[in-house]
Amino acid sequence: MIGYALRRLGFGAVVMFLVTVFVFMIMRLVPGDAVSLQLQDTGVSKAEADAMRAEFGLDDPVWVQLWTWLGDAVQGDLGTSFYSGESVVDLFLARIPVTVQLGLMAMMLGAVLGLVVGVVAAATRGSMVDGAMRLFAVAFLSVPNFVVALLVLTGLAIWFAWSPPIVYTGPAEDFTSWAQQIAIPVIALGTGGMASVARLTRSSMLESLGSDYIRTVRAKGVRERVVIAKHALRNSTIAVLTLLGLELATVLGGTVIIERMFSLPGTGQLIYQAVLDRDYPVVVACTIFYAGLFVITIILIDLLYALVDPRIRSGKALS
């Protein structure tokens, strides 16, 4: 088990290194850097621009920049923003709470609703309820999260002439205002997750409901409600947990567009602005942070699987 875990971690490190190389390569290979973008209308002489590049270390070859960055990153220094001059770590820490709140609430909403819908659909398999719920699930998978947000906004604006407050306030300062502002983003991000959780729950519930041990439980005379809630559902949790882990990536990706729409000061907003400004240190740090989060989730899921299924540990089941 430990060997397996170490192998997974090694794999994660390799992928993270490649992500870093990849990000550096794309950024430096394309024309137009931060300095020329920043100075394009100011008429600064070429010598001064070069001096600025030297200050930021942009005139070094790519691999030197990569090496310097890696060296600093290991020591917990992710560089300073070209624009605000703040340390990237600080910028990041200031914005993480918003994204975490948003992401967690959206995932919880999706998980709870999805489980309920999935279980009901599986329990009433083949009925009208089941059909309607399946259709609903595909429909919700098909409406992109920003469209959900837009439609909710439109509906509220037309029928109640209401729109969320524009300036973000933390939950500690003004709870009502915060709740009003974050409700639509949470719903928008949660529905997609809900649909996929519902579908997975349904299919894996059906799988376990058809299995021998459920027949035994039924034969024992256990009530149907208990069969479903206790025996069948428990067997589906792993699959659902896996999906939720992977859902994290989607939710995080979704925050980029949703945070921008609702002007929430989270990491999604940060990365969007940084990419537009070509604020290299921030872009690199954000991308690597997102990728790192994703890789860690994957490794955790892998370990979870290995914990459950000994065949995977030996590496025989994978090929």
Partner 1 sequence: MTQKPTLTDEAPAVRSAPKPPRPPRRLGVRQVLTALRTFVRSQPLGAAALLLICFFVFVAVFAPLVAPYDPVQQFRRDILEPPSGTYLFGTDDLGRDVLSRTIYGAQTSLLIGVVTTGVSLVLGTAIGVVSGYFGRALDVVVQRVMDSVQAIPGIVLLLFIAVILGPSVRNTIIALTVVITPSFNRIARAETLRVRQEPYVEAARATGAHAPRILALHVLPNLLASVLTLGSLIFAGVIIAESALSFLGIGAPPPTPSWGLMLSEGVRYVERAPWLIIVPSIALSIAVFSFNLLGDALRDHLDPRLQRRALDRVTGLWWGRRMLSRLAPSLSRAADKN
295 in contact with partner 1 (CB under 8 A): yes
Distance from C-alpha of 224 to C-alpha of 172, rounded to nearest angstrom: 45
Q: What is the DSSP letter of 228?
A: I
187 in contact with partner 1 (CB under 8 A): no
- Options 1, 51, 147, 226; binder of partner 1; rule CB under 8 A: 147
The CA-atom distances, in angstroms, between 224 and each of 208, 212, 219, 268 are 14, 15, 11, 45
CB atoms within 10 A of CB 14: 11
Q: Which two three-digit tokens encode residue 246?
A: 């992977």
Q: Rule CB under 8 A: which of 38-77 touch partner 1?
A: none
- Options 1, 112, 138, 226; binder of partner 1; rule CB under 8 A: 138
Contact call for residues 123 and 228 (beta carbons, < 8 A): yes
- Options 73, 96, 183, 238; binder of partner 1; rule CB under 8 A: 238
303 in contact with partner 1 (CB under 8 A): no
**Crossing angle for the helix pair 280-308 and 88-123, to the nearest 10 degrees:** 40
Distance from C-alpha of 213 to C-alpha of 211, rounded to nearest angstrom: 6
The CA-atom distances, in angstroms, between 257 and each of 162, 213, 267 are 22, 46, 11
Q: Which is nearer to partner 1, 81 or 196 (CB)?
A: 196
Q: Which is nearer to partner 1, 39 or 156 (CB)?
A: 156
14 in contact with partner 1 (CB under 8 A): yes
Which range, of 59-67, 93-101, 213-221, 267-275, touches partner 1 by CB under 8 A?
Answer: 267-275
Q: Which is nearer to partner 1, 169 or 273 (CB)?
A: 273
Q: What is the DSSP letter of 207?
A: H
- Options 103, 110, 164, 254; binder of partner 1; rule CB under 8 A: 254
Q: Which two three-digit tokens encode residue 145?
A: 């999260």
Binding mask 189-228 for partner 1 (x = CB under 8 A): -------x--xx--xx------------------------
Full DSSP string of 116-154: HHHHHHHHTTTSHHHHHHHHHHHHHHHS-HHHHHHHHHH
Binding site for partner 1 (CB under 8 A): 11, 14-16, 18-19, 22-23, 26-27, 30, 32, 138-139, 141-144, 146-147, 150-151, 153-154, 157-158, 161, 163, 196, 199-200, 203-204, 238-239, 242-243, 246-247, 249-250, 252-254, 256-257, 260-261, 271-272, 275-276, 278, 283, 286-287, 290-291, 294-295, 298, 305, 309, 311-312, 315, 317-319
